[in-house]
Structure 1
Amino acid sequence: MNVPVWLWIATIVGLLVLIAIDLVIVDRKPHEVTIGEASRWVVFYVALAVLFGLGIWMFSGWQFAGEFFAGYITEYSLSIDNLFIFVIIMSTFSVPAIHQHKVLLIGILMALVMRGAFIAAGAQLIERFTWVFFLFGAFLIYTGWKLAFTGHDDEEFKENALLRVVRKVLPVTQDYHGSKSFVRIDGKRWVTPMFVVMVAIGSTDLLFALDSIPAIFGLTKETYLVFTANAFALMGLRQLYFLIGGLLNKLVYLSVGLSVILGFIGVKLILEALAGNQLPFINGGQPVDVPHIGIELSLSVIVGVLLVTTVASLIKVRRDPEAVKQLD
């Protein structure tokens, strides 16, 4: 897929314009996001992603469009998994409801920048060392297995190294100061808990990218598609937080569904690595004749697993209300 520089620039500028508009709306009148408002924004961002995918189909063909849609759906579904932690972070830092939207927006913008660097590094690694697909595949299978058997029952938010450095280096106020991230008190500049929680959201999302980025590289090797699928998934994530926040604890089988998807993509990566094998200790350094998993099958499996997971979860909690998870 030939992506000219101007298209990269136009894409990034378009994302920045969307973020700027969103920030203006938030800063103009901080408020608690309603279900109706969140629904409209989710529909808007999903529609943008669909239109973008259709544009790829029109100008580059179904293969690349299918890769984008598969990557976008996978990233979005894995991002839903992130929402469990976001709920816990918001609760841990006691973020006022009227400021949660801004916290998510800035935190996710930070995550997008860091993911961009991660994606660029991953693309270079894959281009130079094709055998890295073996590592990616094995890691995804392990992650899927771990997710299936641990889920979210034992999850709690623990400050990572970046947050500990922020608290050690920068003076942090005890209380929030509206939506401000920085304040000056007695001539000294302080950061507020608002800044700290933004760093928490951004850095925590990056940790989740350790499995989502290898997963999407298992669906497409086009860096542009990897980046845009991540961008659209992240841009729509914060509104999804408000829309399905009350439903998250009802998705009792989400971890199982995501583990199946990660395992499937992990197997796909290993098969592709075998098909292009150059490692001397495997089949004498020659490619191995293995089945090829096309994007059509990948897309069908991803969508099918998510549908079955959602329906099965809702049926389970209806029959057994005690199965609902507690996120507080």
Structure 2
Amino acid sequence: MEFDFLFIDWLGKPVWMWLSFFGLVLAILAFDLGVLHKENKEINVVESLKLSVLYISLGLAFGGWVWWYIGADAGMAYITGFVVEKTLALDNVFVIALIFSFFAVPRLYQHRVLFWGILGVIVLRAIMIGVGATLVAEFAWLLYIFAAFLIFTGLKMLVMEESEPDIANNALVRFMRRRFNVTETHHGEHFFVRQADPKTGKLIWFITPLFMALVLVEVADVIFAVDSVPAIFAITTDPFLVYTSNIFAILGLRALYFALAAMIHRFRYLKPALALVLIFIGSKVFVADMLGLEKFPAALSLGVTFAIIAGGVVWSLVKTRKDEVEV
């Protein structure tokens, strides 16, 4: 039949499921850019929170569909991955705030950088997850390497103080300034502008600080994906669940950014909770193997993950409130 190709299996799921997901993501992005942010404007905390609720609702609604259509275990695996990725994204918010501060990106244009950054993330995560899924399917022992890496990363987060990234001395920033023509100031929402060459007077292309900020935001996501991609593979090896939970969690990141950037200090004690989550996710791979289980119970995995993260959030909010009162 004419549409038989829609039912061909691709990475464990029919093609129509993948096309439907990509169509949904494109519709969300088109609605965001064409309706919600048709004109450049600053996004305040209240609007940021409203948009975040919308994106989280969409992500959870998709998880509800996964639960109904694929099964309860798949639904719980998706929601666990969604929660973990959403929480890990908090670190990304901190780094993005530093990047915007360093390049003095006006709040008016921050959404533009985040929007195009999300498009890059969709492609980069697809490549990383596709490669990861292929390797895990071919070499099952890699899952144990991922698990061990997560345990090591979690332990390192617990015992080591993280230093603030030195953006001024970042190798990529120095490379771009050395190899490309870079304007000293922003030029509105433009990533590239044509200006007169100081030496010849001819019009040549320059990159703006806004474009440099975009490049660093993309690189930051690749770095954070080193933690988040192994984490989701330790939860489920189904490429569809891995990718969709990742993308839905990240889609709402730019909406949540403007609220989180204003109160990131209130989540001071979430880092230990994240470390414990990574240790738990990595450990359960080995625990399931030792107990002779095909996989760790999805309901228990979701419950423990949610409890740790919720505990970290509540403790952070309570503790920082006390600190502010003492000050």
Q: TM-score, normalised by structure 2?
A: 0.88
For structure 1, which runs of at least 5 residues remain unmatched after alignment?
276-287
Q: 3-state DSSP class of the match of 2:13?
A: coil
CA contact (8 A) 2:12 2:238 kept: no
Q: 2:110 aligns with which of 93, 100, 125?
A: 100
Q: 3-state DSSP class of the match of 2:101?
A: helix
CA contact (8 A) 2:285 2:295 kept: no
Deviations 1:201-239 (A, max 9, x none): 111111001010000011111101111111111110111
Please say if 1:313 is aligned against 2:316.
yes
Give the aligned residue type for 1:257: A
- Shift in CA distance, 47/163, structure 1 to aligned 2, threshold 3 Å: same
Q: Out of 231-240 and 29-38, give the one that drifted further.
A: 29-38
Deviations 1:80-109 (A, max 9, x none): 121111111111111101111111111222
CA distance in 1, matches of 2:127, 2:279: 25
Please say if 1:194 is aligned against 2:210.
yes
- Shift in CA distance, 301/16, structure 1 to aligned 2, threshold 3 Å: same
- Shift in CA distance, 65/116, structure 1 to aligned 2, threshold 3 Å: same
**Correspondence for 1:171:** 181
CA distance in 1, matches of 2:248, 2:313: 22
Give the aligned residue type for 2:24: G
Deviations 1:287-309 (A, max 9, x none): x7479531111101111011111
CA distance in 1, matches of 2:41, 2:326: 33
Q: 1:88 aligns with which of 98, 110, 121?
A: 98
Q: Out of 243-252 and 200-209, give the one that drifted further.
A: 243-252
Give the aligned residue type for 1:107: G
Give the aligned residue type for 1:97: R
Superposed structure 1 runs of 4+ greater than 4 Å apart:
159-165
RMSD, aligned CA: 2.2
**Correspondence for 1:49:** 59
**Correspondence for 1:77:** 87
Please say if 1:268 is aligned against 2:258.
no
Q: 1:224 aligns with which of 234, 240, 243?
A: 240
Q: 3-state DSSP class of the match of 2:252?
A: helix
Give the aligned residue type for 2:249: A
Q: 3-state DSSP class of the match of 2:211?
A: helix
CA contact (8 A) 2:93 2:260 kept: no
- Shift in CA distance, 2/111, structure 1 to aligned 2, threshold 3 Å: closer
Please say if 1:207 is aligned against 2:215.
no
Give the aligned residue type for 2:41: H
- Shift in CA distance, 266/49, structure 1 to aligned 2, threshold 3 Å: same
Give the aligned residue type for 1:89: I
CA distance in 2, matches of 1:133, 1:322: 46
CA distance in 1, matches of 2:171, 2:143: 28
CA contact (8 A) 2:12 2:239 kept: no
